[in-house]
Structure 1
Amino acid sequence: MAGGILRCSGPRALPPRLHGGVVVIGNFDGVHRGHQSVLARALEIAATHGCLAIVLTFEPHPRSVFRPDVPLFRLTPAPMKARLLEAMGFDAVVEQPFTRDFAALSPEAFVTEILVRGLGAAHVVTGFDFHYGKNRGGTPETLAEAGAVHGFDVSLVAQFSDEGGDVVSSSRVRNLLAQGDVAEAAGLLGYRYTVEGVVSEGKRLGRTLGFPTANMALPDETALAHGIYGVRFRRADGTLHDGVASFGRRPTVDEEGRPLLETFVFDLDDALYGETCAVSFFGFLRGEEKFDGLEALVSQMKQDEAEARALLSGVRPLSEIDLRIAFSG
């Protein structure tokens, strides 16, 4: 759903017309406020010099390559990350395939092959602790030295902390989402946590109960707390609708099933099967429960709907990114 931003699989896919820009480097999983401080610096430099702003990131996440046996709850898979970067104003995102061979590149080869020949970087922006190349042998100091040799400038951005003085990190966001605290997570992200997926056809039980749902299977590694949330639902055409969503195993009707995100979209009765849609989480209403029959379930669902409508009636954008992701149609 990233329309205006160009996504390239590696530097070789970046058109020559996009060379000579400001390149900002990082994994940026979550594109949280700490990441945004680095990204915003790149945008400022690009605006000052009248050049393009390019993000260099890595796919899959390096942790998935080095520790494939440990599931990684990715906050922003590549398509969602691109949407967020587009909302910030970047022109392109280069998704460098991350393999063990790539990780074995020497720091010098990373600079010459990726930054110089591949991207034609005029200016490189990174976090203050950026390391690159084999065994993380490249440092901010060696990057600055390489820039002096190859003709690009280097800017390092200091560590970002929240209002309480704590460092904003992807791990903090993951922990909050695992507790269902989507409101606190939004404070660290600077926007409402959002997922994307293809709407699939389910058993249509919700429709028979008067609560038809748009069902989306999220990645198995998604560690969002099971429960009921007040959400905003974006269709593939960009239209927005409020709703109430359940994420979990549906213990009343299908306790053995895989976790599923089921969204009852308010005031919409269109068939959504096959659409790639997005769900933004605004508030946690309650945990997942098993009810004594469908009548009790329907009664609770009516309460959930009323609570979600009340919650969503007063929400406001947290930032320009939030405005574009969860508020603008």
Structure 2
Amino acid sequence: MTTVLHGLEALPLDDRSSIVTIGKFDGVHRGHRAVLDGMRERAGDRRVVVVTFDRHPAAVLAPDRAPAPLLSVAQKTEALIAAGADLVVVLPFTRELAAQSPEEFVRAVLVDGLHAAEVVVGSDFRYGARGAGTVDTLREEGERFGFTVEVLDDVCVLDGQRVSSTSIREALDAGRLDEATEALGRYPRIRSLVVPGHQRGRDLGYPTANLAHNAEGYIPADGVYATWLHVDGVRYPAATSVGNNPTFGDVPDKTIEAHAMDVRLDLYGKVVELEFVRWMRGMQKFPSAEALATQMGVDEQQIRAVLGVPVPPAAGSEPTAAHA
């Protein structure tokens, strides 16, 4: 069964009716999943459909104000399906789409395309050219075309604050990983290809997998993290650094390097995923490579404690991990 469709040209669907929600769904956080939980509970034999976009609307309408996405489109669609959507429709957000009138959007997407019986939106929902469509106009269109409209207020509030993609980005930028994790309902994660690096970690006794710069997902603040590294369906405990490695001074770009513990892996050319569990410390410039190696040993012991990973019997011998 097809679970993801791209573009209006992929519509219409068959005649089965749908319960539909529309939005950016950036991060697929706890609030988003609460919406899908409610839709699933009352869907009956209707299809649960999420309509979302391939980029933030601001990326087209106001590029200088467009936020970086918390998840790539692929990650987002995977998360929405896992959260209970039967189908995700990804619309390219173009100037042509932005110029559609509210009625054109409703007819093309909700009525002719998805056979919507119910549409679920937030109280601040806007659609159509210049945001002319509102909840009130959507209700009017529903009466005309035969669908109902369910309006949701804030569905997820933590410590008195509304859970939002913006607040999650702010937490990640500040290194407040626990706050971001609570709002997401999972650990923040990124996904990328392992590429060759400077191999300094290997020389220091802590070989690392170096991630390509175009990682999927939102990269958190510079620092050292306790992480889980996923590759080929297996999860490994890992110490991960994010930053430009100030000790050596010749790494101008932000890099992400993960040292998986207690295993020997060949990761070149593989796609890996990192889950960020806890921020351990900020990036530091050490007086020598030896001083950095000593701190990396301290970091590893602290990260083992966070992840609940015991020191292996062979601790103190030559490192067993060999990565890219």
Give your verdict on TM over 0.5.
Answer: yes
1:131 matched to which residue of 2? 126
- 1:42 is aligned with what amino acid? M
1:184 matched to which residue of 2? 179
Cα deviation per residue 1:132-189 (whole Å; 9 max; x = unaligned)?
A: 1011111112112212221222211111342422111111111111111111111111
- If each structure's helix is expressed as a fraction of its own residues, which one has the higher value? 1
**In structure 2, distance between residues paired with 1:5 and 1:269:** 38
**In structure 2, distance between residues paired with 1:280 and 1:14:** 35
Count of residue pairs brought into register by the alignment: 308
2:318 matched to which residue of 1? none
Say whether residues 1:204 and 2:199 are aligned partners.
Answer: yes
Alignment of 1:155-304 (within 5 A): 155-219=150-214, 222=218, 224-235=220-231, 237-304=232-299
**In structure 1, distance between residues paired with 2:249 and 2:67:** 26
**In structure 2, distance between residues paired with 1:197 and 1:19:** 38
Q: Is the CA contact (8 Å cut-off) linking 2:37 and 2:84 kept in structure 1?
A: no
**In structure 1, distance between residues paired with 2:2 and 2:165:** 23
Question: Unpaired segments of 5 or more residues in structure 2?
Answer: 310-324
CA separation of 1:261 and 1:18: change in aligned 2, threshold 3 A:
farther
What TM-score does the superposition give when structure 1 sets the normalisation length?
0.87
36, 46, 66: which is aligned to 2:33? 36
**In structure 2, distance between residues paired with 1:18 and 1:9:** 19
Q: Is the CA contact (8 Å cut-off) linking 1:41 and 1:157 kept in structure 2?
A: no
Q: Stretches of 4+ moved more than 4 A in 1?
A: 218-223
| Higher gyration radius (CA) | 2
**In structure 2, distance between residues paired with 1:297 and 1:5:** 50
What is the deviation of 1:19? 5.1
Q: Is the CA contact (8 Å cut-off) linking 2:12 and 2:114 kept in structure 1?
A: no
Q: Is the CA contact (8 Å cut-off) linking 1:14 and 1:94 kept in structure 2?
A: no
Question: Unpaired segments of 5 or more residues in structure 1?
Answer: 315-329
CA separation of 1:12 and 1:44: change in aligned 2, threshold 3 A:
farther
Q: Is the CA contact (8 Å cut-off) linking 2:20 and 2:119 kept in structure 1?
A: yes
What is the deviation of 1:50? 2.0
What is the deviation of 1:86? 2.3
**In structure 1, distance between residues paired with 2:302 and 2:2:** 37
Residue range with higher mean Cα deviation, 103-112 or 55-64: 55-64
Q: Give the secondary-structure state (helix, strand or coil) at the position aligned to 1:16.
A: coil
Identical residues among aligned pairs (%): 39
CA separation of 1:15 and 1:141: change in aligned 2, threshold 3 A:
closer
**In structure 2, distance between residues paired with 1:158 and 1:177:** 25
**In structure 2, distance between residues paired with 1:135 and 1:294:** 56
What is the deviation of 1:89? 2.2
What is the deviation of 1:109? 0.3
What TM-score does the superposition give when structure 2 sets the normalisation length?
0.88
Q: Give the secondary-structure state (helix, strand or coil) at the position aligned to 2:186.
A: coil
- 2:282 is aligned with what amino acid? G
TM-align CA RMSD: 2.1
**In structure 2, distance between residues paired with 1:130 and 1:104:** 17
Cα deviation per residue 1:119-142 (whole Å; 9 max; x = unaligned)?
A: 222221111221110111111121
82, 86, 89: which is aligned to 1:94? 89
Q: Give the secondary-structure state (helix, strand or coil) at the position aligned to 1:298.
A: helix
Alignment of 1:62-77 (within 5 A): 62-70=57-65, 72-77=67-72
1:23 matched to which residue of 2? 20
**In structure 2, distance between residues paired with 1:18 and 1:203:** 56
